[in-house]
Amino acid sequence: MYTQEFPVSALNFRMIQAQPSTTSTDLSKEERQEEKISHQTRELSRLRQAAVRDPLTGGPNMRSLSMAFEWLERDDPVSMLIIDIDGFHKVNKALGRNCGDAVLTAVHTQLERTLRWDDVVAREGADRFVALLPLAIHEDANAVAERLRDDINKMCFQSPEGRFRMTVRVGSATFEDGDTLNDLMARADKACRQGRESGGNVVFSSTLEAAQTAM
């Protein structure tokens, strides 16, 4: 899996080269100042976007998710899912980092498609995603987690060596009175580690002892 690049053709290059360019010497002092301010404004906007975006997937990063958590009303239910990709390090090692990055990007895209419109999913670390689910009680979170697990399980990846599939393990936790973001993440992480110990391709809940396992 790789991204195809489209180089500029010789004709397009000549057309680009033929376009008249405005140099700083053609501008008045006021125009140069306006151009400088415009450039600084664009650069500041780019930096602000970069601060809350994951550089690989282009989606929210953990800072963005943390901000979303702080905006939530504490009287409303909220749940969290931690999604780990089973055996990702083996794929990354066997097929190379480019293939691994393509897998991460594709998984993130599928997570966003499966999650609800107001959910936030961010990449944490190499092969881990964290999803914040506003207004979701634990039954809702487990249902969403199972859909995520099933949708990822149905994906088919293509590499130069052939096709392959990936699975995920999902740990869920629901907000309790007095919880911080770290408290919620810790319980979801514990449930996710239970999923790893069970072999993966499974949903574990910190609230419900029963787990829903793939057949």
Quick check: 23 pLDDT over 80? no
The full set of domain ranges for the chain reads: 27-55, 62-213
Q: How far apart are CA 183 and CA 180, in angstroms?
A: 5
Residues 115 and 66 sit within 8 Å (Cβ to Cβ): no
Fold of the CATH domain 62-213: Alpha-Beta Plaits (3.30.70)
Q: Which residues make Cβ contacts (< 8 Å) with residue 2, sequence separation at least 6?
A: 98, 99, 102
State the sign of the Cα–Cα–Cα–Cα dihedral 194, 196, 199, 204. positive
Q: Calculate the CA 126 to chain-centre distance.
A: 11
104-129 average pLDDT score: 94
- What predicted TM-score, i.e. pTM, was given to this entire model? 0.74
pLDDT-wise least confident of 30-44, 110-124, 161-175, 182-196: 30-44
Write down the pLDDT at residue 75: 86
Residue-level pLDDT at 29:
74
Given a cut of 90, whether residue 141 has pLDDT beyond it is yes
